[in-house]
Structure 1
Amino acid sequence: MTEQWHTAAGTLEVLEALQRPDLLADPVRESLRGLDDARSVGVVEIDPDLADTAEFCATYGSPLELSANCVVVAGKRAGEVRYAACLVLATTRADVNNVVRRRLDVRKASFAGTDEAVELTGMAYGGITPFGLPAWPVWLDPAVAEAPAVVVGSGVRRSKLIVPGELLTRLTGAEVVDGLGKPVS
C-alpha cells in the first residue's frame, strides 16, 4: 500500500491513519476503527490553511487526478430534506443539476450550506470525508472507485486521508454512479 500512498501524498510522509487519531475528526476515527482493513487508510498532516484541494496539491505535489472532493448535497421532496455525499475527482465537478437531482428524486438539488454540512457531519468544512457520515447515500464517480489511492478529507483541516478507491466502494451506503463527475471546463 505504501507505494500507492506516496504517489497520492506527493511530498508528505504517510502513516496509518489510526496511528494518529489526533489527526481525525471523532466520527472519522470511529468509522475507521470499525473497518476490517483500516490499515490500508493512510493519513498525512498538513497546514490547515492549505486544506483546499488546489492549494494542497500545488504545495505538496499531490496530483489533482488523485485528489477527491466529498460534497454534501441536499434537496427537498414533499417537505422532506434528502441528503447524499458525492465523491468526485478534483479534476471534475459533481453533476448536481442532473445526475444528483435525479438520484435524490427531487425537483432541485444543491450543495448543503456550510453551517448545515458541518453540523450534520460533525466535521470541519473543507475536511468532510465519506468516513463517519450519517446514514446517507455515498455516491462515487467511477474514476474515484478505480483509483489505486486518492486523497480525501479527514474530517479536520489539518490532515488528509489516503485511501484505495476500492475501499471507498465498500463503505456503508456507497454506490458507484456513472456520470457523477463532469470534467471541469
Structure 2
Amino acid sequence: MLGRIDWMTPDDHPDLLAAPVRAATRDAAERVRVAAIDPDLADTAAFCERYGVPLAASANCVVLAAGRGGAVTYAACVVLATRRADVNGTIRRHLGARKISFAPMDEATGATGMEYGGITPFGLPEGWPLLVDEAVADTPHVVVGSGLRRSKLLVPGSLVGELPGARVMPLTR
C-alpha cells in the first residue's frame, strides 16, 4: 500500500467514512481503502509528513462557489497536492462563472455533509460539477479525504475521474 499507515477495507470500518461517502463508495468498495489518522494531521502537508505519503500521491478536493447573474452554484475540483488549480482562469471559464471563489467553510460543510478538512470527491451532492485534474486521474493511487478529518481514503486516481458528474481535464497552470 502507500505510506506508513494501516489501509483497511471500508466495509470493515464504515465508521471511518462520512455518510454520503459510505453510500458513494459502496459499489467500488473493492477498489477503496480507508485508514484512521490523527484528526489534527488531516491537512495535506501535515498528513503526508507524518504518514510518509508523497505529496504527489495526495489530492485535495475544494468546493467552489461560482456566481453569474446573481445566482451561485457549487462545484468541486480535485488536484494533486503538488499542483495549483487555475481557479480564476480555466475553472471559472469552464463553469461559465463571472465570479468564482472558494466556498465559505459553513456552506461547503453544510452542502456536502462532510467535515472541513475531510471534503472528498466521493459523495458530493447530486448535480454538482466535479472537475478532476488529469494528473489525478493518471496517478495509480491517490489519497483523498473520507468526509471526516479522522480518516483518509486510498483510491485509484482513475476512479476519481469515473465519479458522477466528473470531467477530467487540465486544471492547473
Q: Does TM, normalized by the shorter one, top 0.5?
A: yes
Flag structure 1 segments of 5+ consecutive residues without an equivalent: 1-5
Corresponding position: 1:120 with 2:107:
no
Map 1:1-185 → 2, pairs under 5 A: 6-7=1-2, 10-33=3-26, 35=27, 37-135=28-126, 136-178=128-170, 180-182=171-173
- Aligned AA (1:17): P
- Work out the number of aligned pairs and report it: 172
CA deviations on 1:90-116 (whole Å, 9 max, x unpaired) are 011211110111011111111001111
- Moved runs in structure 1, 4+ residues, more than 4 A? none
- Aligned AA (2:123): G
CA deviations on 1:39-84 (whole Å, 9 max, x unpaired) are 1100011000000000000000000000000000111112221211
| Alpha-carbon shift at residue 145 of structure 1 (Å) | 0.2
- Aligned AA (2:7): V
Q: Distance in 2 between matches of 1:71 and 1:99?
A: 15
2:66–2:75 CA contact under 8 A, matched in 1: no
Q: Distance in 2 between matches of 1:18 and 1:110?
A: 36
Q: TM-score, normalised by structure 1?
A: 0.90
Q: Distance in 1 between matches of 2:11 and 2:79?
A: 24
Q: Distance in 2 between matches of 1:132 and 1:54?
A: 24
Q: TM-score, normalised by structure 2?
A: 0.96
Q: Distance in 2 between matches of 1:94 and 1:110?
A: 12
Identity of aligned residues (%): 59
Flag structure 2 segments of 5+ consecutive residues without an equivalent: none
- Aligned AA (2:32): V
CA deviations on 1:134-158 (whole Å, 9 max, x unpaired) are 1201111111001110000000000
Q: Distance in 2 between matches of 1:18 and 1:144?
A: 25
- RMSD of the alignment, in Å? 0.9
